[in-house]
Amino acid sequence: MKIALVGYGKMGKIIDEIATKRGHEVVARLKETPTSENLNSPDVVIEFSLPEVAFDNIKACLENKVPVVCGTTGWLERKSEIEDLAVQNGTAFLYGSNFSLGVNLFFALNEKLADLMKSVDEYSCQLEEIHHIHKLDAPSGTAISLAEGIFKNNPKYDAWKLEETQDKQLGVFAIREDEVPGTHSVFYRSEVDEIEIKHTAFNRNGFALGAVVAAEWIKDKKGNFTMKDVLGL
Ligand SMILES: NC(=O)C1=CN([C@@H]2O[C@H](COP(=O)(O)OP(=O)(O)OC[C@H]3O[C@@H](n4cnc5c(N)ncnc54)[C@H](OP(=O)(O)O)[C@@H]3O)[C@@H](O)[C@H]2O)C=CC1
Ligand SMILES: O=C(O)C1=N[C@H](C(=O)O)C[C@H](O)C1
């Protein structure tokens, strides 16, 4: 399969290595807006760039009728416009706030726990995410997905805010520390104890492998998808 990488920073470079090892040809490595020329006729685009450029990059790829797997976080206010564009152009789009298998299992566990806690009044929920100091967005895309999984299963919460949980607003602590690849925790605290579920990434390889697996999966599809579709979760 021919893959174009849009965004060629920390993630783009690891994806390049993994895609090549899996037998794919990387036909473009871009640090600029994609065009019909510089994309170089790929089967799929994998987009890991910056929050402020992701929307324009994805739009350009979909207008060229190339399916896009996007891992860039921090631009989601305009996601529905992109989803409409994928359908109008008869191509495919997949956004994942986190492509690792471990986090996608953790999302499922978070939803089950949220469902269990909806009828228990003693506990208050709180999220925490820890990332490297270069990260531009807060809270992380993964923390937002965790919050959305809680809202869907537990009507006690319906919005997130940075810092402490207050009434129906679920608190998210966003910590920036050294070169931490990504750690996410969900806490339920009562007056007498605490339940914690936690995912710790040891490096970025799991994110990169998941993005390549998603690209392999989406190649001939049409419509909008998530990692749940790819992993059959
Ligand atoms: N979903 C997931 O599983 C994961 C998501 N992420 C997310 O992916 C994104 C990228 O992360 P990361 O690789 O660590 O970030 P980096 O900052 O290392 O890489 C971003 C790259 O985008 C390039 N760039 C700048 N402008 C453009 C443009 N107009 N078009 C295309 N590329 C451009 C930058 O170029 P230059 O070097 O010249 O500045 C840089 O190489 C972030 O939003 C991060 O949160 C990260 C890990 C996992
Ligand atoms: O910026 C990062 O590095 C990461 N971003 C994603 C996020 O915002 O959740 C995924 C992962 O945690 C690493």
> How do 194-200 and 183-189 pair as beta strands?
antiparallel
Sign of dihedral through CA atoms 109, 110, 113, 118? negative
What's the confidence (pLDDT) of residue 75?
96
What's the confidence (pLDDT) of residue 63?
97
Question: Domain holding 194: CATH number?
Answer: 3.30.360.10
Q: Write out the two tokens for 168.
A: 């129906």
- Shared-domain flag, residues 17 and 71: yes
pLDDT digits (tens, 9 = 90+) for 31-80: 999 999 999 999 999 999 999 999 999 999 999 999 999 999 999 999 99
Residue 33 Cβ < 6 Å to ligand 1 = yes
- Shared-domain flag, residues 133 and 191: yes
Q: Write out the two tokens for 174.
A: 């966003």
Average pLDDT rounded to a whole number, residues 135-151: 98
What's the confidence (pLDDT) of residue 215?
98
Number of domains in the chain: 2
pLDDT digits (tens, 9 = 90+) for 90-130: 999 999 999 999 999 999 999 999 999 999 999 999 999 99
What's the confidence (pLDDT) of residue 107?
98
Distance 182 CA to ligand 2 centre (A): 6
d(CA 142, CA 148): 10
Distance 214 CA to ligand 1 centre (A): 18
| CB half-sphere exposure, 145, CA atoms < 13 A | 23
Percent of the chain whose predicted confidence (pLDDT) is above 70: 100
Average pLDDT rounded to a whole number, residues 1-25: 98
**Cβ neighbours for 176, distance < 8 A, ≥ 6 positions apart:** 130, 131, 132, 133, 135, 138
d(CA 76, CA 160): 15
Question: Domain holding 78: CATH number?
Answer: 3.40.50.720
Reply yes or no on whether 112 is catalytic: no
What's the confidence (pLDDT) of residue 205?
98
